[in-house]
DNA sequence: AAGACAATTTAGAATAGTTCTAAAACTTGA
DNA sequence: TCAAGTTTTAGAACTATTCTAAATTGTCTT
């Protein structure tokens, strides 16, 4: 388990290095969490986790590091209408989100499962389409992710 | 012109009253602006406008009134990922938005022009789908709104 | 292995948007 | 007109995030 963690952290250090971010202890701990362990965490979630597993990190370093990870293309920062804090998403491929309103939990949605066909005419050029589906999971008890809506 | 404005304000007072909001001078002035004059204003925009046309309103009243209008179903508050401040939308019918990224301006998009067909299976129930299309208007010089993307 | 220079981290101040608080000013109805 | 309830207000408080300036750490050179 310790060996696993060390291997994991080593791997994360390499990811940071090859993205052009110098792997300091704090950055490795933060990246380890957002890239490998967390599920749509906010900066506050990251800070709370680090306070448990790391001797000392400041809020400033958490934000600095998350911003660096975003700038270097390792994660994305996303703001949703239903919450103030940004969430960080380690899935870099294009995808949408499903919000289970009772629980507030976010699930990734494969764009293949959502047809979006804007017919806006020739007067504009579309660079991106954001989709947030709000609703409620009917049977959250069924443990596994379905093919189409998967907890992340 | 003065007569128009008075008639308009009277109408707005009636709208407030029939929505269950007591029409005070401040509320009428704020509602007149957000329901009839403004285009996707923020609370700050509303405050700035009122400071020009109304002897005195506090920030607290602007927020209180906007919240009351939202609660009574006369406007909607929307938060977008690209900005911190909420915008208020007097169009209550279901619609999407197009963001012209160069200008930061928002346009309403008729849902009929965007096919959204989520195929999420039977494990969830969808209550609403939010769509934000980002891009850039190719020919903003063409004065009028096109059939499909209309400035509001 | 020491000294210098740059990079990183830190605590705490600052900022933006919004809500809260408690007091003052209005309305309303009897 | 007076009491009771409502509304408005200034300013404090709050949340999420960024900034600042000082302290610490790391790296390079020799």
A87 occurs within a structural domain: no
CA angle A98, A104, A108 (to 5 degrees): 25
Q: Both A97 and A71 in a single domain?
A: no
Q: Both B122 and B70 in a single domain?
A: no
A144 occurs within a structural domain: yes
CATH number for the domain that contains residue B42: 1.10.10.10
Q: What is the pLDDT of residue B114?
A: 85
Q: Both A115 and A140 in a single domain?
A: yes
> Which residues in chain B have Cβ-Cβ distances shorter than 8 Å to A114?
116-119
Q: What is the pLDDT of residues A63-81, one digit of tens each?
A: 999 999 999 999 999 999 9
- Does A140 score more than 80 pLDDT? no
Count how many domains chain A has: 2
B88 occurs within a structural domain: no
Burial, A128: exposed, middle or buried (Cβ in 10 Å; 0-12, 13-18, 19+)? exposed
Q: Both A101 and A60 in a single domain?
A: no
Cβ neighbours for A66, distance < 8 A, ≥ 6 positions apart: A30, A34, A43, A46, A75, A77, A88
Whether B119 contacts chain A with CB within 8 A: yes
Which residue range(s) make up the domain with A98? 93-151
- Ranges of residues in chain B with a pLDDT under 50 are 1-9, 142-152
Q: Which tokens belong to A131?
A: 């989709």
Q: Both B52 and B104 in a single domain?
A: no
Q: What is the pLDDT of residue B111?
A: 87
A85 occurs within a structural domain: no
Of B18, B52, B78, the residue that ends a domain is B78
Q: Both B60 and B119 in a single domain?
A: no
- Does A3 score more than 70 pLDDT? no
Distance B26 CA to C25 C1' (A): 14
Regarding predicted confidence, which is higher, B151 or A89?
A: A89
Of A29, A50, A78, the residue that ends a domain is A78
| Phi then psi dihedrals of residue A115, to 5 deg | -85, 120
Instruction: Name beta bridge partners: B108.
Output: B97, B150
- Does A131 score more than 90 pLDDT? yes
Whether A116 contacts chain B with CB within 8 A: yes
Q: What is the pLDDT of residue A124?
A: 86
Q: What is the pLDDT of residue B8?
A: 43
Strand C neighbors by CB, 7 A: A 21-22, 24-27, 56-61, 64-65; B 22, 24-25, 42-44, 59-60, 63, 67, 79, 84-86
Rounded Cα–Cα distance for residues B116 and B111 (Å):
9
B84 occurs within a structural domain: no
Q: What is the pLDDT of residue B119?
A: 73
Q: Both A6 and A72 in a single domain?
A: yes
Rounded Cα–Cα distance for residues B99 and B152 (Å):
12
B121 occurs within a structural domain: yes
Q: Both A147 and A108 in a single domain?
A: yes
- Does A1 score more than 70 pLDDT? no
pLDDT band at A139; cut points 50, 70, 90: low
pLDDT band at A6; cut points 50, 70, 90: very low
Regarding predicted confidence, which is higher, B1 or A111?
A: A111
Of A78, A113, A129, the residue that ends a domain is A78
Distance A23 CA to C2 C1' (A): 26
CA angle A128, A129, A132 (to 5 degrees): 145
Whether A115 contacts chain B with CB within 8 A: yes
Q: Both B72 and B115 in a single domain?
A: no
Q: Both A70 and A100 in a single domain?
A: no
Distance B85 CA to D10 C1' (A): 22
A119 occurs within a structural domain: yes
Q: Both A108 and A53 in a single domain?
A: no
Q: What is the pLDDT of residue B116?
A: 81
A133 occurs within a structural domain: yes
Q: Which of B115, B119, B135 sits opposite A126 (nearest CB)?
A: B135
- Does A62 score more than 90 pLDDT? yes
Q: Both A63 and A98 in a single domain?
A: no
What rounded mean pLDDT belongs to chain A?
Answer: 85
Q: What is the pLDDT of residues A21-42, one digit of tens each?
A: 999 999 999 999 999 999 999 9
Whether B136 contacts chain A with CB within 8 A: yes
Least Cα distance to A114 among B114, B127, B110, B119 occurs for: B119
Using the beta-carbon criterion (under 8 Å), do A121 and B149 form an inter-chain contact?
Answer: yes
Whether A92 contacts chain B with CB within 8 A: no
Q: Taking residues A79-91, what's their average pLDDT?
A: 94
Using the beta-carbon criterion (under 8 Å), do B113 and A114 form an inter-chain contact?
Answer: no
């Amino acid at each position: 388990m310790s060996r696993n963690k060390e291997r994991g952290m080593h791997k994360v250090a390499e990811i940071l290095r090859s993205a052009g971010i110098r792997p300091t202890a704090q950055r490795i701990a933060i990246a380890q969490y957002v890239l490998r362990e967390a599920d749509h965490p906010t900066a506050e979630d990251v800070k709370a986790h680090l306070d448990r597993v790391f001797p000392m990190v400041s809020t400033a370093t958490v934000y600095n590091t998350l911003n660096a990870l975003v700038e270097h293309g390792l994660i994305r920062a996303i703001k949703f209408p239903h919450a103030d804090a940004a969430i960080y998403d380690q899935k870099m491929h294009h995808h949408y989100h499903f919000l289970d309103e009772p629980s507030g939990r976010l699930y990734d949605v494969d764009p293949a499962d959502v047809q979006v066909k804007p017919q806006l005419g020739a007067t504009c050029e579309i660079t991106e389409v954001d989709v947030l589906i709000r609703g409620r999971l009917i049977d959250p008890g069924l443990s596994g992710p379905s093919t189409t809506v998967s907890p992340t």
